[in-house]
Amino acid sequence: MTKLSVNINKFATIRNSRGGNNPNLIQVAKDAERFGAQGITVHPRPDERHIRYSDVYELREIITTEFNIEGNPREEKFVKLVLDNKPTQVTLVPDATGQLTSNHGWDTIQHQAFLKDIIAEFKSAGIRVSIFVDPDLKMVEAAASTGTDRIELYTEAYAQNFQQNKITAIQPYQDAAALAKELGIGLNAGHDLDLHNLRYFAQNVVDLQEVSIGHALVCDCLYLGMENTIQRYLYQLKA
């Protein structure tokens, strides 16, 4: 079964909007795990508009499932954060400073040398590495040459086109997944996956190991409650 990692960034956004500690991220992470999540994801950004760097150190102490830290490894502060906390996985994302949300994967050809070096550094610390890529076969092939353990397919295009033609929407992801399997690298996915499109994706993309879901899941929590929401997402991932 594909693992569900809950991205708790949006809970931090709500907290930060009022200044206090409500919702409490430590309790959010504990509850997400208690309700069945197999991982917790955070994506700290330089402006700390949602997850703060201090949150990561506190969360590391209490998370009992897989801990996934996402971010841009060109930022020295991010690299230090990852090496200090040694999460289960680091997901490398090519976000620009101030970017609202991730909107593209790495050019694994152009940035091959940089990725090789930073991936080697993280792996030498015992951290599994995943890199964010578009479902482009050239990028997947070049990703395998970086030494990464996994790739995370950027699924916004799938989500946008799912209602119009789900077969066409998923085809590039099926091709990318098949190539990743052939090349011996693991497969994650994330961005705009939700209760409407997740099951079809998980059932039709081979060897999908993990999905990271935040925005849609937090929105669903407002209507369905957190425990019910996480259980519903887990149900979508069942074979």
Residue 193 structure tokens: 């996956």
Residue 119 gets which letter from DSSP? Answer: H
Residue 199 structure tokens: 């099951």
Nearest to 6 by CA among 238, 216, 224: 216
β strands within the chain, DSSP E? 3-7, 39-42, 66-71, 89-92, 128-133, 150-154, 186-190, 210-213
Rounded CA separation 215/207 (Å): 24
Examine residue 44 and say whether the peptide bond preceding it is cis (omega within 30 degrees of 0).
Answer: no
Q: Which helix (H) or strand (E) holds 51?
A: none
Residue 162 structure tokens: 């799912």
Question: Which of the residues are catalytic?
Answer: 43, 70, 191
Q: Which amino acid, 231?
A: Q
Kindly give, in sequence order, each residue whose CB lies less than 8 Å from that of residue 131, ignoring residues fewer than 6 positions away: 91, 92, 105, 106, 108, 115, 119, 143, 146, 148, 150, 151, 152
Rounded CA separation 14/20 (Å): 10
Beta strands at 89-92 and 128-133: parallel, antiparallel or unpaired: parallel
